[in-house]
């Protein structure tokens, strides 16, 4: 006779195991000072972007021109100085962070959703399905991410929506491969085989047993892809294929500031430093998460 499985006991055991693993991961993450520094910077940046409208007046300080105060170096009144139209650079950078961060997070979320679904199906079923999905991904991976984004934006036109579409599509193959490799490592373990033997449906096996136990490399890759997407967003805006004036965006600010870099270097240096610090913080957090999620470092 088959032993009757107590679902409540199984759920309690899995919950206790996951809570223990989460505590271990959190403890190891907080031991990494560089990762925590990156996390603190990102939290402060996100909070500033969310409450930007409460702190500053968008129309008066970010959009409207004030020629009498143009090209003023950083001072107490204007901490980051003013641009060629007399607009406060600090305000424009804060509102520009909204655009850069929102595009980065939304584009990666869409890329993860589509790429994760394709990778999970390919890794779980294998065979011809796996071969078909991976060969399609190989075709997309043969084209550099930046070049693909440029082609899509040039074809669809410059807008936030088109920018998100371009960056989402270009990140799908990477996520598909990451999720596939993660699923392949856990699809044949004992608890998955046990779930199959008692008749658990395939979608439940994927979402209840396989994907939750494959989240380590996916989380790390997500943080790194957000950094790459923010960098590509800035690059596209720098080339004139991203956000259009007068709406602020870090790459566009860097592009407009390069014309004055000889006499007013702060116009190009400050947006560039903001991009650099944000990408550095995301990379530090990604490295810290990778180390914290590695069971060999217990």
Q: Is this model's pTM higher than 0.95 or not?
A: no
Cα–Cα distance measured from residue 31 to residue 35, given in angstroms and rounded to the nearest whole number: 9
| pLDDT score at 296 | 55
Cα–Cα distance measured from residue 91 to residue 162, given in angstroms and rounded to the nearest whole number: 25
Cα–Cα distance measured from residue 209 to residue 76, given in angstroms and rounded to the nearest whole number: 56
Q: Give the Cα-Cα-Cα angle 235, 236, 238 (nearest 5 degrees).
A: 60
| pLDDT score at 128 | 86
Residue 18 has pLDDT above 80, yes or no: no
Flag whether 243 is in a domain.
Answer: yes
Residue 263 to residues 68, 259, 267, Cα–Cα distance (Å): 18, 9, 10
Residue 85 has pLDDT above 80, yes or no: yes
Taking residues 166-188, report their average pLDDT.
Answer: 84
Residue 253 pairs in a beta bridge with: none
- What are the residues whose beta carbons fall under 8 Å from the beta carbon of 197, sequence distance 6 or more? none
> What are the tens digits of pLDDT across the range 123-156?
878 788 888 988 888 888 887 777 888 888 888 7
| pLDDT score at 11 | 45
Provide the domain count of the chain.
Answer: 1
| pLDDT score at 233 | 86
| pLDDT score at 2 | 43
Give the least confident one: 19-28, 123-132, 143-152, 212-221: 19-28
Flag whether 12 is in a domain.
Answer: no
Average predicted confidence (pLDDT) for the chain: 81
Cα–Cα distance measured from residue 67 to residue 83, given in angstroms and rounded to the nearest whole number: 9
Number of alpha carbons in the 13 Å side-chain half-sphere of residue 16: 6
Does 216 or 271 have the greater pLDDT score? Answer: 271
- In three-state secondary structure terms, 82 is strand
Cα–Cα distance measured from residue 256 to residue 245, given in angstroms and rounded to the nearest whole number: 10
Flag whether 80 is in a domain.
Answer: yes
Flag whether 11 is in a domain.
Answer: no
Taking residues 160-175, report their average pLDDT.
Answer: 86
Cα–Cα distance measured from residue 117 to residue 1, given in angstroms and rounded to the nearest whole number: 38
Flag whether 16 is in a domain.
Answer: no
Element (H, E) at 28: helix 7-30
| pLDDT score at 47 | 92
Tokens representing 177 are: 């491969």
Give the least confident one: 40-49, 68-77, 108-117, 268-277: 68-77
Does 16 or 237 have the greater pLDDT score? Answer: 237
Range of the domain at 191: 26-297
| pLDDT score at 278 | 92
Taking residues 255-268, report their average pLDDT.
Answer: 85
Does 180 or 242 have the greater pLDDT score? Answer: 180
- What are the residues whose beta carbons fall under 8 Å from the beta carbon of 61, sequence distance 6 or more? 87, 88, 91
Flag whether 21 is in a domain.
Answer: no
Q: Residue 89 is part of a domain; what is its CATH number?
A: 1.10.3720.10
Check if the beta carbon of residue 242 is closer than 8 Å to that of residue 153.
Answer: yes
């Amino acid at each position: 006779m088959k032993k009757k499985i107590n679902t409540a006991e199984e759920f309690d055991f899995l919950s206790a195991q996951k809570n223990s693993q989460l505590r271990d991961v959190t403890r190891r993450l907080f031991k990494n000072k560089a990762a925590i520094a990156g996390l603190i910077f990102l939290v402060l940046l996100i909070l500033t972007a969310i409450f930007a409208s409460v702190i500053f007046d968008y129309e008066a300080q970010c959009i409207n021109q004030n020629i009498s105060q143009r090209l003023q170096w950083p001072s107490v009144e204007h901490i980051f100085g003013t641009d060629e139209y007399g607009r406060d650079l600090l305000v424009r950078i804060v509102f520009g962070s909204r655009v850069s961060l929102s595009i980065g997070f939304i584009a990666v979320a869409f890329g993860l959703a589509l790429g994760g679904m394709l990778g999970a199906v390919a890794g779980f079923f294998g065979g011809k399905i796996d071969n078909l999905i991976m060969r399609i991904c190989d075709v997309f991976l043969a084209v550099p991410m930046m070049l693909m984004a440029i082609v899509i934006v040039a074809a669809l036109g410059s807008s936030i929506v088109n920018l998100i579409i371009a960056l989402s599509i270009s990140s799908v193959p990477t996520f598909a491969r990451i999720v596939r490799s993660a699923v392949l490592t856990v699809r044949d373990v004992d608890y998955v085989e046990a779930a199959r033997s008692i008749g658990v449906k395939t979608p439940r096996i994927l979402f209840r047993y396989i994907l939750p136990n494959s989240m380590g490399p996916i989380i790390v890759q997500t943080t790194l892809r957000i950094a790459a997407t923010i960098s590509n967003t800035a690059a596209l805006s720098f080339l004139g294929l991203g956000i259009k004036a007068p709406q602020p965006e870090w790459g566009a600010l860097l592009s407009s500031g390069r014309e004055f870099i000889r006499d007013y270097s702060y116009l190009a240096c400050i947006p560039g430093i903001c991009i650099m610090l944000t990408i550095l913080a995301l990379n530090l957090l990604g490295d810290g998460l990778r180390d914290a999620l590695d069971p060999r470092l217990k």
